Amino acid sequence: MIGSQVSHPGDMGRTVSDALGCAPEDEFDPSLDDFKAKERSYTHFDLQLSLEDRDGFCVSRDEVARHSFWPLLGFVAEERRVKKDGSGKLIFEAKEREIKFGSHKDAAILEWYSRHLSAAYERYLENN
């Protein structure tokens, strides 16, 4: 991911990226850093968010309250597992796992909240 400086009113102008001069991905601080939603290339009911839409993505309580979330799309992924029984004989089993994903904007909203809640939770852990 390559970072870019974005100037939005009220933003501090620090972009999270692995580019030189930017905060690494694991050091996101919502009070300092500009949020940029991940690019999602899967097919869903809505269109992918443009780079412009993803850059500096921010939502308010009112926007989220008015937003109609799309249903999750998904499929079942099947993995083949190999285990040994007590006698050393190989046993082949199939393990099913449900994969679900949200629309592009829904995922960006949830990602935004996740980043902000994680930062608040980390501050709470440091102080308690």
* Percent share of the chain, pLDDT over 90: 20
Does 72 map to a domain?
Answer: yes
What's the pLDDT tens digit per position in 17-41? 454 444 455 555 555 455 555 666 6
3-class SS string, the chain: CCCCCCCCCCCCCEEECCCCCCECHHHCCCCCEECECCCCCCCCCCCCCCHHHHECCCCCHHHHHHCCCCCCEEEEEEEEEEEECCCCCEEEEEEEEEEEECCHHHHHHHHHHHHHHHHHHHHHHHHC
Does 22 map to a domain?
Answer: no
Does 80 map to a domain?
Answer: yes
Summary mean pLDDT of the chain: 72
Task: Give me the domain span that covers residue 65.
Answer: 35-127
Whether the per-residue pLDDT at 117 is higher than 70: the answer is yes
What is the model's pLDDT at position 36? 55
Q: Give the pLDDT band (50/70/90) at residue 70.
A: confident
Does 23 map to a domain?
Answer: no
Does 8 map to a domain?
Answer: no
Does 54 map to a domain?
Answer: yes
Does 58 map to a domain?
Answer: yes
**Number of domains forming the structure of the chain:** 1
